[in-house]
Amino acid sequence: MKSSQVREMNKTERLYAYVLRRRVVTSDELGEWAREELGKDYKYLYTKYITRLLAQGKLVRVTRGMYSARNLFPTHPYDHPDAPPNKYLVGSKLRGRYYLGYHTALELHGCAYSSTNSCFVVTLDNNKFRPFSHGRLTFESIVARDVTTEVVTESIAGTDVITSSPSRTFVECTRRLDLCGGLEEVLKSIDGLRGVTPEGLKASLEIYGYDILYRSVGFFLELMRDESSYYEFVTDDLLDYLRSRSTGSTAYLVSGVPSRLDDGWNLYVPVDMDRITAGV
């Protein structure tokens, strides 16, 4: 009886297997693989092997210096060869100093009311990138003065992905409603956001430090205290602290819509706020 022999993969197949396993790779990661596996550099790898895999339709260029593998041997519906690359992995590899924030953070924390094809990558001003699309996915750089306070690491397909903590996510949802689906969707999303803490909120607010944000956060916390068990930590003392940090003139929670004054926060809120909160 003849024994079957398993053929060893050639170099092109080994490279494809590596990218398929990692799902999304950068030119730096490919250069490291080339040095370890072939004793060559990225330029050699690109000329000799990457161009071949691109031509064969096994690799796809996501953006400059980044590739994903098309799974030509799917074992699961989500492994379809034309499925888009994991947007969280792509976003995590665009810049060295970053975190994924706003609606993208809500998704990673498992409380986003809806899913989107957008990925918001928060970067420092000197490290931002131009928005770009890959298929139906879009990637946008949002500038912040601090990308290290109140961030956490999640594991996505074996890769560490940095995102804003629940507390910073809460603050940023109130800061930029437009990046989180709008007022009604934000309320429905943060209703299920667990892990927010007073300490985390205060640290996140200090990053921005402007009056209207303290008011907005206080207004939302007061709403959530009555709506969600995740906000039982919200005390009158915490709300009083937020009021003490907001001493300016009246401001609008949402500009350009009919509003009424909430005396407790000296904040103009939409006149249909009761209808909106009833749906939470």
pTM of the model: 0.92
The answer to whether 264 and 274 are in contact (CB under 8 A) is no
pLDDT tens per residue across span 21-55: 999 999 999 999 999 999 999 999 999 999 999 99
Q: What is the structure's pLDDT at 1? A: 47
The answer to whether 12 and 53 are in contact (CB under 8 A) is yes
Coil, strand or helix: which one is 141?
strand
pLDDT tens per residue across span 129-153: 999 999 999 999 999 999 999 999 9
More confident residue, 277 or 200: 200
The two three-digit tokens of residue 35, written as one number? 């040095």
The answer to whether 181 and 117 are in contact (CB under 8 A) is no
Domain residue spans of the chain:
11-79, 87-278
Coil, strand or helix: which one is 216?
helix
Q: What is the structure's pLDDT at 248? A: 81
Q: What is the structure's pLDDT at 247? A: 82
Second CATH level (architecture) for the domain 11-79: Orthogonal Bundle (1.10)
Average pLDDT over residues 213-231: 96
pLDDT tens per residue across span 70-122: 988 766 666 677 889 999 999 999 999 999 999 999 999 999 999 999 999 99
